[in-house]
Amino acid sequence: MFAMVNGLQIYGQQAIQAARYIGQGFMVTLDHMNRLPMTIQYPYEKLIPSERFRGRIHFEFDKCIACEVCVRVCPINLPVVDWELRESVRKKQLKNYSIDFAVCIFCGNCVEYCPTNCLSMTEEYELSTYDRHELNYDQIALGRLPISVVQDPTTQPVSSLNYLSKGVMEGHPDSRSVTNL
């Protein structure tokens, strides 16, 4: 008889604990129902990248002195710098500069350590192609400035995800309460 009462007591405790877990799950569901949607309709709406966003690299051919600092600081020795030495002026003359964005890790070291600031990061992030060889940009392709998201007439810029509720942006302070009762 005592074993049956003890079994019912354990069963009751487990049922109460299961009801708490279900209640906590419903609270999370209700919290998410009160939020605005986070979906961005991508081709028509684009997020404005942050100020320090590391997108495609822009190159200014006239400023480059062919010092190859960008190649030395690159973790994968990616930029290809072709130059020839001009004997008359005893300076390097840049012939060709290229970066393969299929291999680039967008670390920004080349931009940071360039002594003449001929390299800069743009906010262009749409580099997808069907052929990876199209991602090998020469100095002409690197010299083109992309259209800014704000200036693009075909899209509506979304400044940030500020319209989300406070709990989403800062995290949930009571996130441990789901597992700890």
Arithmetic mean of pLDDT, 68-87: 92
Based on the domain organization, do 26 and 109 belong to the same domain? no
Tell me, yes or no, whether 118 lies in a domain: yes
Q: Answer yes or no: is pLDDT of 177 > 80.
A: no
Q: Answer yes or no: is pLDDT of 103 > 80.
A: yes
Q: How many domains does the chain have?
A: 2
Tell me, yes or no, whether 168 lies in a domain: no
Based on the domain organization, do 17 and 67 belong to the same domain? no
Residue 24 · residue 177 · CB < 8 Å = yes
One DSSP character per residue, 78-120 reads --EEEEEEETTTTEEEEEEEEEETTT-----HHHHH-TT--EE
pTM assigned to the model: 0.66
β pairing state of 156-158 and 136-137: unpaired
Q: pLDDT grade, residue 161 (50/70/90)?
A: low
Arithmetic mean of pLDDT, 13-24: 96
Q: CB count, 10 Å around CB of 34? A: 8
* pLDDT for 175: 37
* pLDDT for 181: 34
Based on the domain organization, do 8 and 88 belong to the same domain? no
Based on the domain organization, do 11 and 99 belong to the same domain? no
Domain hosting 8: range is 1-30
CATH number of residue 68's parent domain: 3.30.70.3270
Based on the domain organization, do 66 and 20 belong to the same domain? no
* pLDDT for 168: 42
Based on the domain organization, do 76 and 114 belong to the same domain? yes
Based on the domain organization, do 83 and 24 belong to the same domain? no
Tell me, yes or no, whether 68 lies in a domain: yes
Q: Answer yes or no: is pLDDT of 166 > 70.
A: no
Q: pLDDT grade, residue 171 (50/70/90)?
A: very low
36-40, 118-122, 157-161 — which one is most confidently predicted on average? 118-122
Distance CA 161, CA 143 (A): 32
pLDDT tens digits for range 118-158:
999 998 988 999 999 999 999 999 999 888 888 888 888 88
Distance CA 22, CA 20 (A): 5
Based on the domain organization, do 24 and 112 belong to the same domain? no
* pLDDT for 176: 37
- Is 118 annotated among the ligand-binding residues? no
Based on the domain organization, do 67 and 21 belong to the same domain? no
Tell me, yes or no, whether 49 lies in a domain: no
Arithmetic mean of pLDDT, 55-61: 93
Based on the domain organization, do 15 and 79 belong to the same domain? no
Tell me, yes or no, whether 75 lies in a domain: yes
90, 63, 117, 121: CA torsion to nearest 10: -130
Structure tokens at 77: 């020795």
Tell me, yes or no, whether 173 lies in a domain: no
Based on the domain organization, do 65 and 152 belong to the same domain? yes
Tell me, yes or no, whether 115 lies in a domain: yes
* pLDDT for 16: 96
Tell me, yes or no, whether 124 lies in a domain: yes
Which amino acid type is present at position 124?
E
Query: In whole numbers, what is the pLDDT of the chain averaged over residues?
Result: 84
